[in-house]
Amino acid sequence: MSFGKNRFKWRAPKSVLFYLLGFYVLAQFAWWAYMLVDLNAEIYNLKLQLLQASQLAGPEQIILKSELDQKLSHRIWMVLGEGAVFVFILLVGFRAVKNSIDRELKLAEQQKNFLLSVTHELRSPLASVKLQLQTLISRKLDDDKKEMLQTRALKDVNRLEKLVENLLLVNKVESGKLPLQLSEEDSTKLISRLLEDHYSTEKTEGKIVFQNTEEVLVSVDRMAIESVLINLIDNALKYGDGTTVNITLEKQTKGNSVVLKIADEGSGVPDEEKEKIFERFYRIGNEEVRKTKGTGIGLYLVKLLVESHDGTVKVSNNDPSGALFSVTIPAAKR
């Protein structure tokens, strides 16, 4: 019987090794400080013995002993003072290094999840398109089946195009190479047009509801805001568990701003994840066993684009269930 494949391998967590190293350094410093104080005490005792064995008069011995006491006290306080400063600097340094390591580990984990998700997001539609094209080439199909395969292939290509556009857009925004072309837009018409162009089927089936008819003017980059809307709507459809996505617009006179709300009735976002989901590459759960599609850059891109318009985006609990994303941007100045 061989146990080679099942051999247990234990690896100490990186944080444990880091704290052990810190403890070792502090222990060595404490030992060094103790030895230094002890050495000064030995020197003091030797000098005191020499002083007592000398032929000096009593008053002179008292004066010299007082000087020895002062020197010993001064050296001890010097060691303690310098040691306290050293320990403080050491602790601050360890804290900074620990935070830096934690950030790097977190980023590495996010990048790993991102690569896994992107690989899946690229492989699935490519395999689908390849299969559909092979079917169209190798078989004689009637017009209806050809149209169905072509429609599916086009849908997969659009999905790939959207992924590539998001990746390029994130890079441009982060590098400051995306100058906004602001124009006055009626957000009601903008949303209605976007729904007709991209979500006509979902709107017809009642999966998306938007009933606002009032004119709500905003000063925005139309393409950037459309990207914000598409990412938020896709997110609501994906995690809404098949429920209706409700879109509303509110114009707030206080602060002269416009609030766009996109709500679903799915499982919602846990409180501890509400801030994290807007981070780059972040997705809830383990990427290796995830079933939902996505790359973890959609909501990050939303945050970047909204903030570039001097706006804010947040997520809260929908009533009675689900998630409610609220985007607040300045209204157009008239």
Does residue 141 share a domain with residue 194? no
Does residue 174 share a domain with residue 43? yes
CB-based contact 283:296 (threshold 8 Å)? yes
Please check whether residue 3 lies inside any domain of the structure: no
Domain extent, residue 34, equals: 11-178
Please check whether residue 241 lies inside any domain of the structure: yes
From first to last of its 334 residues, what are the pLDDT tens digits of the chain? 444 444 445 555 666 777 787 788 888 888 888 888 888 888 888 877 877 777 666 677 777 778 878 887 888 888 788 888 888 888 888 888 888 888 887 777 777 766 776 777 778 788 888 888 888 888 888 888 888 888 888 888 887 887 788 778 888 887 777 788 889 999 999 999 999 988 988 998 999 999 888 888 999 989 889 999 999 998 899 888 888 999 999 888 776 899 999 999 888 888 888 888 888 777 665 444 345 555 667 888 899 999 989 999 999 998 888 999 999 999 887 6
Please check whether residue 1 lies inside any domain of the structure: no
Shortest CA distance to 303 belongs to which of 196, 166, 119?
166
Match 């441009």 to its residue by tokens: 172
Please check whether residue 194 lies inside any domain of the structure: yes
Structure token pair of residue 111: 């990048």
C-alpha distances (whole Å) from 165 to each of 152, 194, 233, 313 are 20, 17, 16, 21
Rounded CA separation 318/264 (Å): 7
CB atoms within 10 A of CB 217: 16
CB-based contact 110:280 (threshold 8 Å)? yes
Rounded CA separation 147/179 (Å): 40
Indicate the residue among 144, 178, 212 that finishes a domain.
Answer: 178
Model pTM? 0.61
